[in-house]
Amino acid sequence: MESNEFGSLLIDLWRDLQQPDVFWQTAALIVCLGIGWLADRAVRGGAAKSDDEGLRALGRRGLRRLTFPLVSLIAVLVARAILARWEHIHLLTAAIPLLISLAVIRIVFFVLRHNFGRASWLGSFERSFALLAWLVVALYVTGLLAPLIDALESVGFSVGHQKLNLWMILQGVGAVLSALLVALWIGGIVEARLMAAQGMDDNLRLVLSRISRTLLIVLAVLIGLPAVGIDLTMLSVFGGALGVGLGFGLQKIAANYISGFIILLDRSLRIGDVISVDGHKGQVTKITTRYTVLKGLTGIESIVPNEVLVGSVVQNESYTDPKVRVALPVQVGYGCDLERALAILVEVALAQPRVLRDPAPGALVLAFADSGINLELGFWIGDPALGVGSVRSDINLAIWKAFRAEGIEIPFPQREIRILGETAGTDSGGATGLSRIKP
């Protein structure tokens, strides 16, 4: 750029607006923006017809957001170089930072929304970032950016052997944020590639995705700070403080994160498993590096720290086999047809759609109890995630109806009482009659 662009671009632009030749700059700018608009329409139309998913879809969505500002910027640069031989080009020069800012804002928003979805803080952050970007453009156009940079550089201080100033710190923050955006972008591409991989375990995908993203973020910091002249050795003090913090206050959090990687790596739990741990039972709906979410049949979600899952006994109903055996106790009277009662139990179980035919249901005689004969109906279901209570209720109701139709008694508790003593009605031996009390 010309040397006077930083100090007098706004003044020169105002002078150009008062000259007749501004028409050519305006026409050239309109043509450049029209080219960018047509390119944007072409890319969006091609993306709408495409059925690509995963990595290609991610690249197409990013390209759609950058097509208009980038194509328009290239066209403006070409038009600026051509018109510079005959006309003033200050209007085109002023359009360059605006288009660059628009491209930066769009790509930042795209990367953040792709990685963080609909997070509540994204809206306010995007507005603040857009305001900051347009503020920098306004400072550049008005010629106030260079004096502001000089003022920031004049405020300096030392941290150990490292000399810093406010402008260097702002550059470091910007470099780290830019590197983080690139890291998040690459991490999103890696995650899309892993999710599209065939034959790979879901837990292994999560582990590789999170490890790659963590490494990329660390690498972004290691690259961003030295790029602006900040020595990384000064971070050793903060590293030591962080180690002390992990040793005392953050040990539980560190243990949960380590436990989370252990769970994901050894594949002891998977999404969809039905487990019981520490008094909580439910289906695993989400596994993070810090906690695991269990959704119970009532809809209540329990957030269980990973440390509890690693250090406690976990009952996994679908670890190697999703089939679960359900035992249903039934009692019948002594006067019933026992073989017919056992057959009815099996018939009722086979009539239920959720009961598996293999292994087949079976009925057993458990014990001769005080009030009746204890039986047990055992059957298997292959979908414990849908709950056991509903199938228990359906089978119990069907058993009651079948027993009632067959005249099989389901007894209630009975007690036989003998009264000893000389009372009226006793025999010569002094024994009384028997009376049976039914509650």
Contacts of residue 241, Cβ cutoff 8 Å, sequence gap at least 6: none
Same domain, 26 and 61: yes
| Structure confidence at residue 402 (pLDDT) | 92
Residues 61, 65, 68, 73: is their CA dihedral positive or negative? negative
| Domain termination residue (choose one: 154, 181, 202) | 154
| Domain termination residue (choose one: 94, 129, 154) | 154
| Structure confidence at residue 119 (pLDDT) | 61
pLDDT at residue 202 tops 50: yes
Structure confidence by residue, pLDDT tens digits, 265-276? 777 788 878 888
In this structure, is residue 434 part of a structural domain?
A: no
Higher pLDDT, 29 or 141: 29
Structure confidence by residue, pLDDT tens digits, 349-382? 999 999 998 889 999 999 998 888 999 999 998 8
Q: Taking CA 142 as the corner, what is the angle to CA 138 and CA 145, rounded to the nearest 5 degrees?
A: 75
Contacts of residue 431, Cβ cutoff 8 Å, sequence gap at least 6: 418, 420
Higher pLDDT, 374 or 235: 374
In this structure, is residue 193 part of a structural domain?
A: no
pLDDT confidence band for 193 (50 / 70 / 90): confident
Structure confidence by residue, pLDDT tens digits, 395-415? 999 999 999 998 898 888 767
The DSSP letter of residue 160 is T
Rounded mean pLDDT of 205-221?
75
The DSSP letter of residue 436 is E
- Comparing C-alpha atoms, which of 4, 161, 28 is closest to residue 91? 28
Number of separate domains in the chain? 3
Given a contact cutoff of 8 angstroms between Cβ atoms, the answer to whether 308 and 260 are in contact is no
Distance in angstroms (rounded) separating the CA atoms of residues 163 and 344: 88
Same domain, 136 and 28: yes
Same domain, 150 and 36: yes
pLDDT at residue 430 tops 70: no
Same domain, 121 and 76: yes
Same domain, 267 and 134: no
In this structure, is residue 225 part of a structural domain?
A: no
Same domain, 137 and 268: no
Structure confidence by residue, pLDDT tens digits, 85-140? 776 666 677 777 778 887 877 777 777 776 666 666 666 776 777 777 777 777 77
Burial group, residue 197, by CB count within 10 angstroms (0-12, 13-18, 19+): exposed
Same domain, 273 and 385: no
| Structure confidence at residue 186 (pLDDT) | 77
The average confidence (pLDDT) of the chain is 75
In this structure, is residue 201 part of a structural domain?
A: no
Structural domain for 335, as ranges? 324-415
Same domain, 77 and 22: yes
In this structure, is residue 10 part of a structural domain?
A: yes
The DSSP letter of residue 166 is H
Same domain, 149 and 33: yes
The DSSP letter of residue 424 is T
Distance in angstroms (rounded) separating the CA atoms of residues 342 and 16: 101
pLDDT at residue 3 tops 60: no
Strand partners of residue 157: 164
pLDDT at residue 432 tops 50: no
In this structure, is residue 431 part of a structural domain?
A: no
In this structure, is residue 117 part of a structural domain?
A: yes
In this structure, is residue 186 part of a structural domain?
A: no
Rounded to two decimals, what is the model's pTM? 0.45
Residue 200, φ and ψ in degrees, nearest 5 = -105, 135
What percentage of the chain reaches a pLDDT higher than 70?
Answer: 71
Same domain, 145 and 13: yes
Q: CA-CA-CA-CA torsion for 9, 10, 14, 16, nearest 10 degrees?
A: 20
CATH of the domain at 282: 2.30.30.60
Distance in angstroms (rounded) separating the CA atoms of residues 416 and 404: 26
pLDDT at residue 161 tops 50: yes
User: In this structure, what token pair is assigned to residue 408?
Assistant: 């099989």
Same domain, 49 and 109: yes
Beta strand pairing call for 280-287 and 324-332: unpaired
| Domain termination residue (choose one: 154, 182, 206) | 154
Given a contact cutoff of 8 angstroms between Cβ atoms, the answer to whether 406 and 399 are in contact is no
CATH of the domain at 372: 3.30.70.100
Same domain, 301 and 329: no
| Structure confidence at residue 54 (pLDDT) | 47
Given a contact cutoff of 8 angstroms between Cβ atoms, the answer to whether 12 and 88 are in contact is yes
